[in-house]
Amino acid sequence: MGEGWYRSANAVGRAVLGLLDTTVRVRGEEHVPRSGPVLLASVHVSFLDFVLVEKAALERDRLVRFLCRHDVWSAPLVGRVMDAMRHVPVDRAAPAAAYLGARRLLREGEAVCLFPEAGISHSLTVRPLMRGAAALAAETGAPLVPVVVWGGQRVLPLGRGGRRPRPDLRRGSLVDVRFGEPLAVAPGDGPTVVTERLGHVLTQMLESVQRLPGHRPAEGEWAPWYPAHLGGHAPDRRAALLLDDVPRSALMPSWGPPGTHYGEHHGDTAAAPAGGRVRRHPA
């Protein structure tokens, strides 16, 4: 029954993308095994990322089990469907249950995707990362595959200050999904070291896609969907300090645009805007 729900949901997603004439380019799909456990660690730039990662994974005939915000389950019917599709709710106040659920799925040979940024990045750079992906890969031996998604933020933009812009339903948008080579994770590797390596790999992959001609804004175009350090008008990292809801246990970046960092990186609060501070979730 669950597989039927999932394949129906995929059909709806494909139909919506088809109506919008959205081109989804997939590269690196050979890094996703056709069977057996695999852990996908994806950047998070839009609400469409789930749909786009799954569409790309279908190139390898994989039904991906996602770790999602637990409040999605608050609607009874939606919760039953999410359970049937074997997605995993994540409660930031008690994240251990999500870790155990993901570990169980990997041990059963499933493809599992999590978003280690634990939220959408307002700056459209790789924000602080949770260490759970590294810990799961080390404990289960599942390949840890970095994933980049780019383009969905133009269709469903995030917005700022609680104000969500209308979806951009213009036809002909371009989306890229890239799977990188699996990161080598030995059983004894510390999660901090692996997570830092993951941050640098995701940043390199993301910027290589952002710089492609089909994704760069036109000269003089107002581009809030493009990162500031590459010439766009998204909030830079300093501005994002007051917008990103970062879990307290996340690893602060050593990756990303040079000369910009989060105010609490290595204990430094001087980089925060005047009177501001990093929004840190207690989990």
Mean pLDDT of the chain: 86
DSSP string, 87-133: -EEE-TTSTHHHHHHHHHHHHTT-EEEE-TTSS--TTSS---B-SHH
> How far apart, in whole angstroms, are the C-alpha atoms of residue 68 and residue 62?
18
Spacing of C-alpha 140 from chain mean position: 21
Residue pair 140/37 in contact (Cβ under 8 Å)? The answer is yes
The answer to pTM > 0.75 is yes
Quick: pLDDT tens for 18-43.
777 788 999 999 999 999 999 999 99
Q: Is the pLDDT higher at 227 or at 11? A: 227
Alpha carbons within 13 angstroms on the beta-carbon side of residue 3 total 4
Q: What is the mean pLDDT of residues 61-81?
A: 90
Quick: pLDDT tens for 199-239.
999 999 999 999 999 999 999 999 999 999 999 999 998 88
Residue pair 9/85 in contact (Cβ under 8 Å)? The answer is yes
The dotted CATH code for 2-220 is: 3.40.1130.10
pLDDT at 270 exceeding the cut of 60: no
pLDDT at 275 exceeding the cut of 60: no
Alpha carbons within 13 angstroms on the beta-carbon side of residue 238 total 12
Spacing of C-alpha 252 from chain mean position: 16
Ranges of each domain in the chain: 2-220
